[in-house]
Amino acid sequence: MFLKLLAAFILIPLIELYLLLQVAQVTSVGMTILLVILTGVIGSYLARREGAMAWFRFHSAVADGRMPSREIQDGLMIVFAGALLLTPGLLTDVLGFALLTPVGREWIRKVVVNRYLRRFDIRVTTSELHPDPLHRVNRGAANTIDAEAVRRRPSSSP
C-alpha cells in the first residue's frame, strides 16, 4: 500500500505538470493560467452549491428518521472534490468536477461499492420487526438489526 501511495504522490503531479506544459505549448502560458483560475472559480461555486444541497438532504434524512448514509457519502465526495480542485492540474480537475455532479457521484459510488463490497460477506439478522414497512426507528419501535461484515479470504483457485 505504501508503494502505491508513493507512486501516486510522485506520478500524479508529474503527469499534471506535463499536461499543463502541453496546454501551455498549444495555447500560451497566460491561457493555461487562466484555465487553472477558471476551473478554480467554477469548482468553488459548484462545491458550495452541491455542499449546501448535500447538507440540506442530510438534515432532511435525519428529520425523517432515516440513516443519512447516502448524504454522508455525498458530503465526503464533495469535500474530496474541493480538495482535488485546489490542486492545479487537468486530471484532478476532471475527477473533481465528476465528484461535484450527482451523476458522477453515483457512478463513483457504484464503482467503489462494487469493488469493495465483493471483499466482504454481509450477514444480517433481524428480530422484532415492525409490521408497518414505513415505520421509522425514531418513533419508538423495538427494531433490532444485527449486522456483521466478514472479510473474505482470497481463494487459491483461479
| Structure confidence by residue, pLDDT tens digits, 143-153 | 555 566 666 66
Which residues lie closer than 8 Å to 72 by C-beta, 6 or more apart? 58
What are the boundaries of each domain within the chain?
9-119
Q: Answer whether 84's CB lies under 8 Å from 96's CB.
A: yes
Whether the pLDDT of residue 97 is over 50: the answer is yes
Q: What is the pTM of this model?
A: 0.69
Whether the pLDDT of residue 93 is over 50: the answer is yes
Question: What is the pLDDT at residue 104?
Answer: 93
Between 98 and 132, the more confident residue is 98
Question: What is the pLDDT at residue 143?
Answer: 52
Least-confidence region, from 9-23, 30-44, 69-83, 130-144 = 130-144
DSSP H helices in 64-155: 69-86, 90-100, 102-117
Q: Label residue 118 exposed, middle or buried (CB < 10 Å: 0-12, 13-18, 19+).
A: exposed
Place of cell 458550495: 48
Strands (E), the chain: 120-127, 144-151
DSSP 141: -
- Average pLDDT, whole number, for the chain? 82
As a whole number of angstroms, the distance between CA 50 and CA 87 comes to: 19
Q: Model confidence over 117-153: pLDDT tens digits?
A: 777 666 655 555 555 555 454 444 445 555 666 666 6
**Phi, psi dihedrals of residue 148, rounded to the nearest 5°:** -145, 135
Which residues lie closer than 8 Å to 152 by C-beta, 6 or more apart? 118, 119, 120, 121
Long-range contacts of 45-48, Cβ-Cβ distance < 8 Å, separation of 24 or more? 46/97, 46/100, 47/78, 47/81, 47/82, 47/85, 47/100
